[in-house]
Amino acid sequence: MTSPSPSPLRLLLINGAVFLVLLLLLELALRLLGIARPAFYRFDPVRGFAHRPGAEGWWTREGRGWVRINRAGFRDDDHPPVAAPGTLRLAVLADSFGEAFQVNQADTWWKGLERRLQSRPDCPLRRGFAGGVEVMNFGTGAYGTGQELLTWRQAVRPLRPQVVLLAMFLGNDLDDNTPKPRDDRPVFRLGADGRLQQDDSFLQSPASRFRRSLPGQLLDGLVAHSRLAQLLNAIKNRPAAPPAPAGDGPPPVPEPSEQAWAVTAALLRQLRDEVTASGARLIVTSLSSPEQVWPVHQRRPADPFARERRLAAILAPLDVPYLPLAPELQRQADRQRLTLHGFAGQQPGIGHWNADGHRLAAAVLADDLCRP
């Protein structure tokens, strides 16, 4: 006599239990093996995306750095709401060059800048601040000047820095500022009257709607706490390998549109006005692009600093100090025979600054900031 077959419901429960046990075993195995792919970013209704507070782990997509995101949601130590008496607070607004996941935090240019300013009590920037210097980093990957303006409003202004240093990467900031439809961030445009307008239509995109929904929030919580979910998320978001440069030269940089320059100029004016109104001082620096400091001189552009000259022309009437780093970084890299961008085994010369790039940038910027 044959036993009755299990009911469909019972089979479903058994299979579900087996699947759940398998997932738990995989989660345990990943933790025992020390395998983690932390999700450093999450949805943000104001800036589109931002760092996940408390996330930490190794970044290995390019270079290798131990990354910890502070309570405020930025790659830095935690900072108290009020500075210590007599301390100069310098806030850094930047994109992935400020985020600098590719190296350890101690090796970033902004940490190096803090150490150098601390060691120079006679620096004019420190006049009246006997308590030292506190550099606060708000750099976030893929941000343009518009998202940095929103970061100023949302996170930087409440901490009352005396100096705001906007670090621009002219290799892609202008493209990031181009007013084109985006589903992952707000867009800034110029109205018919020439005034800056913010377009938050990204909030209506299917991806944004899902992330704000209950299932999306549950999935975000799972990714925040599960190693298996983080691994699957990393596989889904794994970027394609960048194409090798043709002829052993740096990758070409598209020429920005006039619209991009106009929006960038309006954003800089707005940031200047808001920073000044808070009682702080805005300083702008620009970093180097790979083609400007390419090790083979013959592969560099004929006019590598054209964008720096145009940015200088925008900032001069705003009375905003401008410290372009690329010309001096090029001279120093040539003299010391250094490759400032890229990492061994990962296309040297291309991408973000390596440890030499960060060290040299900190030295040059400290000299510029302390120049009488």
Please indicate, yes or no, if residue 294 is contained in any of the structural domains.
yes
Residues β-bridged to residue 1: none
Within 13 Å of residue 275, how many CA atoms lie on the same side as its CB?
30
- CA dist., res. 133 & res. 116, Å (int): 10
Residue 345's pLDDT is 84
**pLDDT tens track for 215-242:** 888 888 878 877 777 777 777 777 644 5
Residue 329's pLDDT is 98
Which residues make Cβ contacts (< 8 Å) with residue 158, sequence separation at least 6?
A: 81
Token pair of 296 as six digits: 């083979």
Which residues make Cβ contacts (< 8 Å) with residue 360, sequence separation at least 6?
A: 329, 332, 333, 336, 338, 340
Residue 20's pLDDT is 76
Residue 357's pLDDT is 98
Please indicate, yes or no, if residue 147 is contained in any of the structural domains.
yes
Residue 245's pLDDT is 53
Residue 27's pLDDT is 66
Q: In terms of DSSP bridges, do strands 56-59 and 65-68 run parallel, antiparallel, or are they unpaired?
A: antiparallel
Please indicate, yes or no, if residue 345 is contained in any of the structural domains.
yes
pLDDT band, residue 25 (cuts 50/70/90)? confident
Contact 210, 284 (CB under 8 A): no
Please indicate, yes or no, if residue 114 is contained in any of the structural domains.
yes
Please indicate, yes or no, if residue 225 is contained in any of the structural domains.
no
Please indicate, yes or no, if residue 209 is contained in any of the structural domains.
no
Phi, psi of 286 (to 5 degrees): -130, 145
**pLDDT tens track for 76-118:** 999 999 999 999 999 999 999 999 999 999 999 999 999 999 9
Residue 167's pLDDT is 98
pLDDT band, residue 305 (cuts 50/70/90)? very high
Residue 236's pLDDT is 73
| Count of domains for the chain | 1
pLDDT band, residue 4 (cuts 50/70/90)? low
3-state secondary structure of 161: coil
User: Is pLDDT above 80 for 213?
Assistant: yes
**pLDDT tens track for 254-288:** 899 999 999 999 999 999 999 999 999 999 999 99
What distance separates the 2 farthest-apart alpha carbons in the chain? 99
Cα–Cα distance list, 168 to 49, 146, 218, 289 (Å): 19, 12, 36, 11
Give the CATH number, domain containing residue 294: 3.40.50.1110
Contact 65, 28 (CB under 8 A): no
Residue 13's pLDDT is 75
The count of other CB atoms within 10 Å of the CB of residue 277 is 9
**pLDDT tens track for 123-148:** 999 999 999 999 999 999 999 999 99
Please indicate, yes or no, if residue 234 is contained in any of the structural domains.
no
User: Is pLDDT above 80 for 293?
Assistant: yes
Residue 194's pLDDT is 87
Residues β-bridged to residue 135: 90
Q: What is the dihedral of CA 191, 192, 194, 200, to 10 degrees?
A: 0
Please indicate, yes or no, if residue 166 is contained in any of the structural domains.
yes
Residue ranges making up the domain that contains 289: 52-178+256-369
Long-range contacts of 177-180 (CB under 8 A, 24+ apart): 177/144, 177/145, 177/146, 177/260, 177/263, 177/264, 177/267, 178/256, 178/257, 178/259, 178/260, 178/263, 179/259, 179/263
